[in-house]
């Protein structure tokens, strides 16, 4: 058991810190949350800066520990989040790198790294949420094209994306996990309609995407036909190990801000609230240790994240909600004012126990895959 870093890792951290201190003051102001074209330009600009400084491929090529340090330091320094580049850098890119042909890698990977193209994720459908494999969007062959019809939902930044990693059903007669294929769909193709979807936080975070006989070249298929489910599992596994590093660091910062705010407004004198903050501090310390543990495990196993990801996700998504509920106690009546800090975060935290596999699905995964309990109802 060792929590110290190697000299090389410490050097990476020091260089990164130095670079962040130099470049962050030069960044323009962050665009408002609903200004997607503005956010696209801002996030891609940041990615380009990372590229020029040699940090662009940290999500792909660096060791898990180096990635942990990168995410920790960028969050601590208040650097922009990966934002509009998320799907390209953390989902589609790694999938194409692992499963694509040389030609596909050459076509799609460099623009992701250089911050030139944005990807969105066309996985979920109205009838296929937690049961993703139940998706029904159809694709049939017509010459050198697939013709795609159906609809997708919860597609983040679809209106500013250049590409969509799309899951389609290419064999409706096969068992549901078998007849699926993974396509790269250009978002400017004919037949695509994007309708922004307003969330309970008031923002247009997601979109509905309607597909009406959209033609996608067969050459845009990554992996074999009907092998898309396995390809997708490769994608999702990238999310587990270090996906929440920046968020845990951010939550710990928020906790410190809550303590300061509580001291300023006098709520610190309430021992119940104070102890609740103390317990949250224990919680987020442990979540940070769990991250380090999972990263060490991934490193030992050659980069493959273990089942610890589900354990982390379950605990973290509830802790995050508890954090912002406690923020509301610190704010008092201010908790009802959308202009106050933390109020929107409280609303958006509601999605954490639902997105990327609900807590109920995660518990079933933990019980069946880690504890070996029998499958059933």
Partner 1 sequence: MRFQLSEDQRALQAGVRELLERRFGREALRAAVDTPGRLDRELWRALGDAGFFALRLPEADGGVGLGLPEAVLAFEEAGRALLPGPLVATHLAAGTVPGAATGETVVAAVYGELVEWLEAADVVLGDTGDTGGTGNTADTGNAADTGDTRGAEPLRSLDPLTPLHRVPAARDAAAAAPLADLLTAAEQLGTAVRVGELAVQHARTREQFGQPIGAFQAVKHLCADLLVRTETARVAVYAAAVTADPADIAAARLLADEAAVHGARDCLQVHGGMGFTWEADVHLHLKRAWVRAHRGGGSTESEELLAARLAA
Give catalytic residues, as residue numbers.
Answer: 239
CB of 6 to partner 1, least distance (A): 8
CA–CA dist 31, 28 (Å, integer): 9
Which range in 92-100, 125-133, 184-192, 363-371 contacts partner 1 by CB under 8 A? 363-371
Site mask for partner 1 (CB under 8 A), range 23-62, x = bound:
----------------------------------------
CA 158 to chain centre: 15
**Pairing state between β 138-142 and 145-152:** antiparallel
Asked whether 43 and 80 are in contact (CB, 8 A), the reply is: yes
From candidates 24, 149, 268, 345, binder to partner 1 by CB under 8 A: 268
CB of 375 to partner 1, least distance (A): 7
CA–CA dist 25, 29 (Å, integer): 10
Task: State yes or no: residue 355 binds partner 1 (CB under 8 A).
Answer: no
Residues 58-117 that bind partner 1 (CB under 8 A): 65
200: exposed, middle or buried (C-beta count within 10 Å: 0-12, 13-18, 19+)? exposed
Which range in 47-55, 219-227, 292-300, 326-334 contacts partner 1 by CB under 8 A? 292-300
Which range in 105-113, 172-180, 188-196, 278-286 contacts partner 1 by CB under 8 A? 278-286
Task: Using the minimum distance from each CB to partner 1, give the nearer residue, 226 or 359.
Answer: 359
Residues 119-178 that bind partner 1 (CB under 8 A): none
Task: Using the minimum distance from each CB to partner 1, give the nearer residue, 1 or 338.
Answer: 1
Task: Using the minimum distance from each CB to partner 1, give the nearer residue, 22 or 260.
Answer: 260
From candidates 131, 260, 270, 304, binder to partner 1 by CB under 8 A: 260
Q: Which residues touch 340 (CB under 8 Å, ≥6 apart)?
A: 331, 334
Task: Using the minimum distance from each CB to partner 1, give the nearer residue, 85 or 241.
Answer: 241
Residue of 258, 311, 312 whose CA lies nearest to 288: 312
Task: Using the minimum distance from each CB to partner 1, give the nearer residue, 96 or 280.
Answer: 280
CB of 319 to partner 1, least distance (A): 9
From candidates 204, 274, 341, 344, binder to partner 1 by CB under 8 A: 274
Task: State yes or no: residue 279 binds partner 1 (CB under 8 A).
Answer: yes
Which of left, alpha, beta for 224 (phi over 0: left; psi -120 to 50: alpha)?
beta
Task: Using the minimum distance from each CB to partner 1, give the nearer residue, 213 or 264.
Answer: 264
Which of left, alpha, beta for 117 (phi over 0: left; psi -120 to 50: alpha)?
beta
Task: Using the minimum distance from each CB to partner 1, give the nearer residue, 152 or 240.
Answer: 240
Task: State yes or no: residue 8 binds partner 1 (CB under 8 A).
Answer: no
CB of 283 to partner 1, least distance (A): 8
CA 372 to chain centre: 28
Element (H, E) at 47: helix 36-52
337 to 33, 328, 343: CA distances (angstroms)? 17, 10, 7
Q: Which residues touch 366 (CB under 8 Å, ≥6 apart)?
A: 307, 310, 311, 314
CA 87 to chain centre: 7
Which string of b and e fits 158-189 if b means at least 16 CB within 10 Å?
Answer: bbbbbbbbbbbbbeeeeebeebbbbbbbebee
Q: Which positions touch partner 1 (CB under 8 A)?
A: 1-6, 9, 65, 255-256, 258-260, 263, 268, 271, 274-279, 281-283, 285-287, 289-290, 292-293, 295-297, 299-300, 308, 311, 314-315, 360, 362-364, 366-368, 370-377
């Amino acid at each position: 058991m060792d929590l110290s870093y190697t000299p090389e890792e410490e050097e990476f951290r020091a260089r990164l810190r130095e670079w962040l201190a130099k470049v962050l003051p030069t960044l323009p102001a962050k665009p408002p949350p609903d200004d997607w074209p503005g956010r696209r330009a801002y996030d891609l600009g940041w990615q380009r800066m990372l590229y020029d400084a040699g940090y662009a491929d940290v999500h792909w090529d660096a060791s898990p520990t180096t990635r942990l340090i990168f995410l920790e330091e960028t969050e601590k320094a208040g650097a922009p989040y990966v934002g509009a580049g998320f799907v390209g850098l953390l989902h589609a890119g790694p999938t194409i790198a692992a499963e694509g042909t040389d030609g596909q890698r050459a076509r799609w990977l460099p623009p992701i790294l250089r911050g030139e193209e944005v990807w969105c994720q066309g996985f979920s459908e109205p009838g296929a949420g937690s049961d993703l494999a139940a998706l029904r969007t159809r694709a049939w062959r017509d010459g050198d094209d697939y013709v795609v019809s159906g609809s997708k939902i919860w597609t983040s930044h679809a209106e500013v994306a250049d590409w969509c990693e799309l899951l389609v059903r290419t064999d409706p007669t096969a068992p549901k996990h078998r007849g699926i294929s993974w396509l790269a769909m250009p978002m400017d193709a004919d037949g695509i309609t994007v309708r922004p979807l307003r969330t309970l936080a008031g923002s247009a975070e997601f979109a509905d995407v309607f597909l009406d006989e959209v033609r996608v070249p067969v050459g845009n298929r990554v992996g074999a036909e009907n092998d898309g489910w396995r390809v997708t599992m490769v994608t999702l596994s990238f999310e587990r190990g270090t996906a929440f590093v920046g968020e845990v660091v951010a939550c710990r910062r928020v906790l410190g801000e809550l303590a300061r705010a509580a001291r300023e407004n006098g709520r610190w004198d309430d021992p119940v609230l104070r102890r609740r903050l103390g317990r949250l501090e224990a919680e987020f310390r442990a979540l940070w240790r769990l991250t380090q543990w999972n990263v060490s495990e991934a490193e030992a196993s050659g980069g493959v994240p273990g089942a610890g990801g589900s354990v982390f996700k379950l605990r973290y998504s509830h802790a995050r909600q508890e954090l912002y509920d406690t923020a509301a106690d610190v704010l008092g009546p201010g908790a009802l004012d959308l202009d106050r800090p933390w109020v929107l975060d409280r609303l958006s935290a509601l999605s954490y126990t639902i997105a990327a596999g609900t807590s109920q699905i995660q518990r079933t995964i933990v019980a069946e895959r880690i504890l070996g309990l029998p499958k059933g109802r």
